[in-house]
Structure 1
Amino acid sequence: MAARDPDYDGRFFVGVRTTGVYCRPVCRVRQPLLHNVDFYPTAAAAEGAGFRPCLRCRPETAPFCPAWKGTRSTTERALRLIENGALDQQSVPVLAARLGVSSRHLGRLFAEQIGASPLQVARTLRVQRAKRLLHEGEHDVASVAKQAGFGSLRSMNAAFRELYGRPPSAFQPTQKHQAKD
């Protein structure tokens, strides 16, 4: 139990008599004293004994559903939405509301699990998209800014200068010298 070994996740459940809560063996809560603990083979058995499910590890949910993953599933959903352009036209509070959490909580989840804010992630993805489009060489810089999700050419220029110290045009393929007649 103290090791929080994922191999035992779902094989048994831990009921804590002092709190009346039961958890999965991988739950990140403070370890209870062993003499205050009962072990149960199923979540239903723990509930039958009068314990209520932990709000952190959600032992009552079926394995592999989004709630089973806890906060990771919220972050994963947010990342998918950001990759699909959710922050290109909307704000972080709108994204957070769509996920059913506060913008402050979403920021904390990103800081803990990714090490960057949702806006930083969105900006990095925009720059990567723009860089790929520039390397293809089929579009001018202004249309790349729009396709990559930047609000303006100026914001794309600022992002590239801050990140790479060069303008976006430096990432376009150089024109081959035309053959002499």
Structure 2
Amino acid sequence: MRLGAAALALAFLLAGCSTPDVPQPTATPTATASPTAAATTSPTPSAEPAAVTCEQLVGPGFDPTLLPPQDYFDKIRSEGSPLVLFLDYGGVLCPQSSGDEIGAFYGYSPISAADQATQEARLSSEGLVGGPWDYGILYQAPDPSNEPYALAWAFVDGTWFVASTSESLRSIVANVQP
């Protein structure tokens, strides 16, 4: 019994010794400094570009009555068109239709570096030529005058654009850039 009482006393003693250690882990609220570090990451999303509308992107010549119906976007999505990525990435896609055909495309969205690399590889694999441009990087057909239906694409400081011609592309980039 004395051995049992000694073991019990030792358990209380150890419990008493470990009690001061309990407040010391409260010194680990410095681990709550991690959420503060995470809070410093929250301004990054607010640094994203403001929402752009078709009216702002295209400018005064934009006619909202020429936008195709929603089922057009569903159709090109089901066909695997990369154009819907402008919507998926949080931007706008503003095709202008004339009757049953799309006469012009205008698109803008933010794009991550990884997504940009993927899209640049896709554009190159489709035969478009990329190179430096006034605003960033321009991709277009090797001879745009021979390929009137080829779209022009641009990557500018974490954003990307598409338009029916490089002239239209220059205009929409200028409409959105500060």
Scaled to the shorter chain, the TM-score interval is: under 0.3
Q: TM-score, normalised by structure 2?
A: 0.20
Higher Rg = 2
Q: Hey, which of these two has a bigger chunk of strand by percent?
A: 2
- TM-score of the superposition, structure 1-length normalised? 0.19
- Name the structure, 1 or 2, with higher relative contact order (CA <8 Å, separation 6+): 2
